[in-house]
Amino acid sequence: MLHSTVTPSSAFSQIQPLLGLVLTPTRELAVQVKHHIDAVSKFTDIKTAIVVGGMAQQKQRRMLNRRPEIIIATPGRLWDLIKERHPHLLNLRQVRCLVIDEADRMVERGHFAELESLLEMLNTVHFNPKRQTFVFSATLTMAHSLPTRVLQKKKNLDKRSKLEILMEKVGIKSKPKIIDLTRKEATVETLTETQIHCQKEEKDFYLYYFLLQYPGRTMVFANSIDCIKRLNSLLVILDCTPLPLHANMHQKQRLKNLERFAERDSCVLLTTDVAARGLDIPNVQHVIHYQVPRTSETYIHRSGRTARATKEGLSLLMVGPDDMMNFKKISKTLGKEEELPMFPIESKCMEAIKERVNLARQIEKVEFYNSRQKHHNSWMRQAAEALEVDLDDDLLMGRARDEEDDREQQAMVKGMKKHLKHLISQPVFKNAIKTKYPTQMGKLSLPHMPRAGMEICVVLQVC
């Protein structure tokens, strides 16, 4: 893309046209792509701009006024600026290079509604016939076995049909050049994959156990924002200093937490799948799937945050009764003929772990209820004042407490926190050696399991 952008015609043109467009599914990935492009084009006159949600539109309009040759964007914010008819985006159909990163995720139905409108506009009769379209994903050719009830109506979605559907949506009409590095094994050879089977309420115990026993750079994935918020509150009380990352956070805070995570040698990032795809965070040693992902693609992308560039890494699946359906589906799709080895747990340490976590849960429950009650009652009082009506006590959350009741509850919470602080100060693994990485000579002490092959990397290029 950079090679086609730097041309004699563009170098001496007073008004620089828009030559390259890169579309990504997340804001964090867009920021990362921009940093890489800026690094490669450092000694050229190429200007880049990032257009993503969570940033002031006025600032992004000023960036577009500089007429950058390359734009890195998420579909939603870009489409908003296109509808405003910003001058630099009027000739978007004439771009020389269109890049769609994590393409299989981008074109999934219902995920990026603006992308459909964007692709429809880019592929009208006025588009540049010499445009190059690049489509990237590590799970582009992954095929799924459909349920029996669906097989009666539809054939299995194989690699070729999946690619054909994708190319049709993207607007690739001629025969593309396909570079397919897909191997039968979906994860890299240096990744150690393990599992823990437990009840839903026991996951907190094993998560805290892992973070204590194996400090390092750890990413913990969950399927919902509510789960991330609860884990963050719990681990803060347990003095684990977690960093949350999810779609409901302000963009500035999301980027700041990513930077902090990358800077600290021992840190835990609690995240939804917003950080599962494409992000290249250096030296992530462990990935914990607190909740089993819903698709095989998501499992591969999550696990791909560790064991990068020939380095070793660990992936741990926490499988509860509610996760079994997704777990079996992933195992079948990935061809895991042999069951993943169980992660080794020192059972003699679990009593101390459970005591801490249960106490932290009690504190978190009281603080969460008090915070929710305070917020609800404050909102109701403000609404009543604004409407100039009397507020019925029945509309308030919880029973009315006097100052003595409040003091008693505060004293109780303070006592529980003091006891928890004392427990945290005591060593849990008295006779065990605390290591930075759960391996011996670079390998986990686990039963033998077949090793995986090369990391999947699929690229479609159309000239």
Residue-range definition of the domain harbouring residue 106? 2-137
Could you tell me if 310 and 437 lie in one domain?
Answer: yes
Could you tell me if 400 and 447 lie in one domain?
Answer: no
Q: Which of 74, 85, 17 is nearest to 51 (CA)?
A: 74
Phi and psi dihedrals of 140, rounded to 5?
Answer: -65, -35
Could you tell me if 369 and 277 lie in one domain?
Answer: no
Task: Tell me if residue 287 falls in helix, strand or coil.
Answer: strand
pLDDT at 13: 52
**Three-state secondary structure along 319-381?**
ECHHHHHHHHHHHHHCCCCCCCCECCCCHHHHHHHHHHHHHHHHHHHHHHHHHHHHHHHHHHH
CATH number of the domain where residue 452 is located: 3.40.50.300
Q: Which residues of the chain have pLDDT under 50?
A: 10-12, 146-155, 436-437, 440-442, 447-463
Q: Hey, CA dihedral for 388, 391, 392, 397, is it positive or negative?
A: positive
DSSP track, 49-79: EEE-TTS-HHHHHHHHHT--SEEEE-HHHHH
In the 8-state DSSP scheme, what is residue 267?
E
To the nearest 10 degrees (0 to 180), the angle between helices 350-387 and 403-425 is: 150
Number of structural domains in the chain: 3
Q: Which of 13, 73, 28 is nearest to 48 (CA)?
A: 73
Give tens-digit pLDDT for 325-367.
Answer: 999 999 988 887 678 999 999 999 999 999 999 999 999 999 8
Residue 146 placed within a domain? no
Residue 452 placed within a domain? yes
Could you tell me if 418 and 448 lie in one domain?
Answer: no
pLDDT at 33: 96
CA dist., res. 74 & res. 25, Å (int): 6
pLDDT at 153: 44
Could you tell me if 367 and 322 lie in one domain?
Answer: no
Radius of gyration of the chain (CA): 26
pLDDT at 448: 42
Residue located via tokens 């008090």? 370
Q: Can you point out the beta strands (E) in 181-323?
A: 191-197, 217-221, 243-245, 267-271, 286-289, 313-319
Task: Count the helices and strands in the chain (H runs, E runs).
Answer: 16, 13
Could you tell me if 232 and 333 lie in one domain?
Answer: yes
CA dist., res. 412 & res. 407, Å (int): 9
Could you tell me if 305 and 450 lie in one domain?
Answer: yes
**Other C-beta atoms lying within 10 Å of the C-beta of residue 423:** 15
Q: Are strands 313-319 and 191-197 parallel, antiparallel or unpaired?
A: parallel
Is residue 436 exposed (0-12), middle (13-18) or buried (19+ Cβ within 10 Å)? exposed
Could you tell me if 326 and 223 lie in one domain?
Answer: yes
Boundary residue ending a domain (137, 153, 169) = 137
For residue 228, give every residue at least 6 positions away whose Cβ sits within 8 Å of its Cβ, in sequence order, or none. 222, 244, 245, 246, 270, 271, 272
Could you tell me if 18 and 121 lie in one domain?
Answer: yes
Residue 162 placed within a domain? no
Residue 180 placed within a domain? no
Instruction: Please give the C-alpha separations between residue 248 and each of 40, 57, 251, in angstroms, as whole numbers.
Output: 32, 18, 9
Could you tell me if 122 and 63 lie in one domain?
Answer: yes
Residue 152 placed within a domain? no
Give tens-digit pLDDT for 3-55.
Answer: 766 655 544 455 668 899 999 999 999 999 999 999 999 999 999 999 999 88
Residue 381 placed within a domain? yes
Q: Which amino acid is at 40?
A: V
Could you tell me if 338 and 362 lie in one domain?
Answer: no
Q: Which of 244, 210, 208, 202 is nearest to 225 (CA)?
A: 244
Could you tell me if 419 and 437 lie in one domain?
Answer: no
Residue 63 placed within a domain? yes
Name the token pair of 309.
């560039």
pLDDT at 458: 35
**Other C-beta atoms lying within 10 Å of the C-beta of residue 205:** 18
